[in-house]
Structure 1
Amino acid sequence: MNIPEGMWIKCGSCKSNIYANDLEETKQVCPSCGYHMPLSAWDRIELITDNEIFIELDENIQSLNPIDFPDYERKTKTSTLKTGLKEAVITGIAKINTEDVVLAVMDSRYMMGSMGSAVGEKITRAVEKSIELRYPLVIFCASGGARMQESIFSLMQMAKTSAALGRHKEEGLLYITVLTHPTTGGVTASFAMLGDIILAEPKALIGFAGPRVIEQTIRQRLPEGFQSAEFLKEKGFVDKIVERKDLKTVLSKLIFFHKERKEA
């Protein structure tokens, strides 16, 4: 018997085969082990925002090829055709359970969510829009790190986004990051870990360099699971691990409590 392609999906953690319709109902969470599979940016936006309350910002910003890296334009065009996205992050103004926010959501399907000039610019503009509107800022991180095809231009985005968030902090505004699987490299080393409140999805991979690179640098054995959300929470780098089904409620409560404190 021929089984239609895409009917069954293998869990990336427990390796069990899951009926695709079941995954749609659980929002891409494995019903067997609770593993949170990557979620597209638009699916994430639909999951956490109020119905039809999302105004996209800067949707036409795209990276160029600042160092004439071979084949780069073909790769970005291929990513756009596969995902329908123009870049690895979507930004906009939204409501989460009636609470106003500026939202940025990364998508690992677009060149592994890597941060190039366009991603850095869109994140920075989202920070500035948050300052302008006096709205809280929420960023969902999902990234393999800096985009190597843009070399130093990509690395500059770490400083650029961090400087914008420094101005955001001076304004006394709330910034929440949600670390999803995976959050690594230059994104971790910049805006991902600068949140006033840092949330993470269960079992998310969070780190800067790979384990082998770290072991070779510090010449020490690393503990099991040291780059997991659970390990980072234990060590105080993550404030709370939140299951996907609870994220909308948790985010809206945090924003509401912060608003109440500011108005008191």
Structure 2
Amino acid sequence: MSHYPAAGIWTRCPACGRHVHQSQWGPWRQCPYCQAWQRLSATERVAQLADSGSFTALKSSVRSQDQLKFPNYATKLTQAQAKTGLDEAIITGWATFDTWPAMLMVMDSHFMMGTLNTTVTRKIIAALQQARQRRVPVVIVTASGGARMQEGLYALVGMNLILAELARFAAAKLPLVTVLTDPTMGGVSASFAFKGDVIVAEAGAKIGFAGARVIQQTMPTSLPDDFQSAPSLRAHGQLDAVVVRPQLRAYLINVLANYQQSGGPQHG
């Protein structure tokens, strides 16, 4: 019998470097030593936010294509699908929050860093269209490194396509709540992440466009220690709130309840 522990029992905290036993992370996936939050998968996020058993995924036959014949892209797609059990870097579907209905979209940073590509774009647009037809609020949870370089301009066009659909959604006077989690960067932060009527960040999230290292290499200036942190963005008026993970579901319930009380769709 091997004297080594079974695989997957211990995980190295990316923040402090300590080795943490799976039981120590707890239900909210927080390091017991430095209190850093572990990145969640999209399915874990849905389980924490939505009413139990309420999430119904939208059906989609759209699959990502290697249109540019980018080296090893097809292989990376297959590996990401096997690793996460998802077909792409986002899941979309109907959900309730303490019985308040909403369209819920959750990006997954474990799938090629949650990057925005043509398929993710189409899923977001389809979900927005269905929410507009049913006149229900939308909750988008971002977790992304930006646009997917393997799809080049095709991925970048998605930014404007989503913004155009969001303009139609806003014209219908329906609320959009964006929840920015770690990380929310690049083309996602530059497009729909900050378009919410309510913009909330999860505590510990890194949010920005270009990374701090890239900025320091191009600008002869030193950056503050809290650069691109959620509290810093809140202090500069870019966020409505910074909420710790255990309180995020209650925050969303309160937002959706307030919308209902101001004349939104019927309860239940």
TM-score of the aligned structures, taking structure 1 as reference length = 0.94
Residue 225 of structure 1 deviates from its aligned partner by 1.9
Provide Cα deviations, 1:57-110, integer angstroms capped at 9, x if missing partner. 134422111222222111101111111110000000011111100000000111
CA distance in 1, matches of 2:62, 2:246: 31
Which residue type is aligned with residue 3 of structure 1? P
Q: Does the 8 Å contact 1:35/1:202 carry over to 2?
A: no
CA distance in 1, matches of 2:164, 2:205: 26
CA distance in 2, matches of 1:155, 1:71: 20
Residue in 2 that maps onto 1:140? 141
Residue in 1 that maps onto 2:188? 187
Residue in 2 that maps onto 1:2? 4
Residue 22 of structure 1 deviates from its aligned partner by 2.7
Residue in 2 that maps onto 1:131? 132
Residue in 2 that maps onto 1:227? 228
Which residue type is aligned with residue 113 of structure 2? M
Residue in 1 that maps onto 2:66? 65
**Counterpart mapping for 1:203-214 below 5 A:** 203-214=204-215
CA distance in 2, matches of 1:232, 1:175: 19
Which residue type is aligned with residue 4 of structure 2? N
Q: Does the 8 Å contact 1:60/1:86 carry over to 2?
A: no
Residue 21 of structure 1 deviates from its aligned partner by 1.8
**1:99 is aligned to 2:100:** yes
Residue in 1 that maps onto 2:257? 256
* 51-60 or 77-86, larger mean C-alpha shift: 51-60
Q: Tell me the SS of whatever aligns to 1:120.
A: helix
Residue 9 of structure 1 deviates from its aligned partner by 1.7
Residue 164 of structure 1 deviates from its aligned partner by 0.7
Residue in 2 that maps onto 1:237? 238
Residue in 2 that maps onto 1:14? 16
CA distance in 2, matches of 1:143, 1:62: 19
Residue in 2 that maps onto 1:172? 173
CA distance in 1, matches of 2:96, 2:32: 29
Residue 147 of structure 1 deviates from its aligned partner by 0.4
Residue in 2 that maps onto 1:44? 45
* 232-241 or 218-227, larger mean C-alpha shift: 218-227
Residue 216 of structure 1 deviates from its aligned partner by 4.3
Q: Tell me the SS of whatever aligns to 2:193.
A: helix
Identical aligned residues as a percent:
39
Residue 218 of structure 1 deviates from its aligned partner by 4.5
CA distance in 2, matches of 1:66, 1:58: 23
* 224-233 or 50-59, larger mean C-alpha shift: 50-59
Residue 45 of structure 1 deviates from its aligned partner by 0.8
CA distance in 2, matches of 1:97, 1:61: 31
Which residue type is aligned with residue 7 of structure 1? I
Q: Tell me the SS of whatever aligns to 2:263.
A: helix
Residue 15 of structure 1 deviates from its aligned partner by 2.6
Which residue type is aligned with residue 157 of structure 2? M
Residue 215 of structure 1 deviates from its aligned partner by 3.4
Residue in 1 that maps onto 2:76? 75
* Structural RMSD (CA): 1.4
CA distance in 2, matches of 1:194, 1:256: 20
Segments of 5+ residues of structure 2 without an aligned counterpart are none
TM-score of the aligned structures, taking structure 2 as reference length = 0.93
Provide Cα deviations, 1:122-149, integer angstroms capped at 9, x if missing partner. 1111111111111110001000110001
Q: Does the 8 Å contact 1:141/1:179 carry over to 2?
A: yes
Q: Tell me the SS of whatever aligns to 1:191.
A: coil
Residue 4 of structure 1 deviates from its aligned partner by 2.0
Which residue type is aligned with residue 36 of structure 1? W
Change (3 A) 1:2 1:72: closer
